[in-house]
Amino acid sequence: MVQRGFADWAANRRSQTDDLVRAIAVTTTFDGERMVLDGVDLAARRGEVLALMGPSGCGKTTMLRHLCGLLQPTLGSVFVCGQDVYALPPARLQELRLRTGLAFQGGALLGGLTVEQNVALPIAENLPQLPADLARQMARNALDMVGMLYAAELMPGSLSGGMRKRAAIARALVLDPEILFLDEPTAGLDPVSAASIDRLVLRLNRTFGMTTIVVTHDVESVRAIADRVAVFFDGRVAAQGARDDVLEPREPVDQRLRDFLERRLPGDAVAPVTSAPTVLP
């Protein structure tokens, strides 16, 4: 009865909005005791870029896994395209997943396949009846969208970090998703490569209108691409709203949020220099 009442309440809250992705009171514990997420409410609007940001271990990647249908939360509901994700039977859940694309943080490219073959993997898995020529063209179109068509025949081991990120995004795009999930797309990249990925993500969003949900700890990346931001601390959303309202708050905010945005350790202060630097021989 309690579960049924919660389901009715969640459905009522969902019906009040046209958000494409919505999490309601999501709570997650691991091993029955370690709480990773605590009552998180979150929404992504159609066509926007939503950034989930926060320090390492704050729960943002776990939240992404819930939103894209990979991990059921302990409590709460996730709605994608108007459907209660974890109430769907397996066949319906798989159909829903085909409307989304996910690029993993490390790229997750298979070293024994060419870049084009890696990008075509979702087609082989989900549309095995598709003619090989059409599948190949779809993979090459996706590579062209991310500026990687020239690398179609290369092996993953010969790619730079930025090229691996682009190939992973191409694979996420190959089935023409309505929603694109990106896990730390600029992590481990030099500033120029990171800025290039930011421009790519923004161009894809503005050109094709797909809702884009990005997990990141990179404040500068969020400034460049996000329409709205949710900042996580200790499994809860500490701030959520329009990018500038979150990154440049006019009202006093949680000191942890200010420290994170300004890249300061808690209690940091700049100490005056009281002596000359040591010169090593």
Question: pLDDT per residue over 211-267, tens digit each?
Answer: 999 999 888 999 999 999 999 988 899 889 999 988 887 766 667 777 777 666 555
Cα–Cα dist 43/218, whole Å: 21
Q: What is the mean pLDDT of residues 148-176?
A: 93
Q: How many CB atoms lie within 10 A of CB 154?
A: 15
Cα–Cα dist 46/209, whole Å: 8
pLDDT of residue 279: 53
State the average pLDDT for the chain. Answer: 85
Q: Give the pLDDT band of residue 280 (cuts 50, 70, 90).
A: low
Task: Enumerate the H helices of the chain as residue ranges.
Answer: 2-15, 60-67, 90-97, 115-119, 121-126, 132-145, 161-173, 191-208, 219-225, 243-247, 255-261
Whether 2 has a pLDDT exceeding 50, the answer reads no
Q: What is the mean pLDDT of residues 161-174?
A: 93
Q: What is the mean pLDDT of residues 53-77?
A: 90
Rounded to two decimals, what is the model's pTM? 0.84
Whether 135 has a pLDDT exceeding 60, the answer reads yes
Q: How many CB atoms lie within 10 A of CB 255?
A: 11
Rg of the chain (C-alpha set): 21
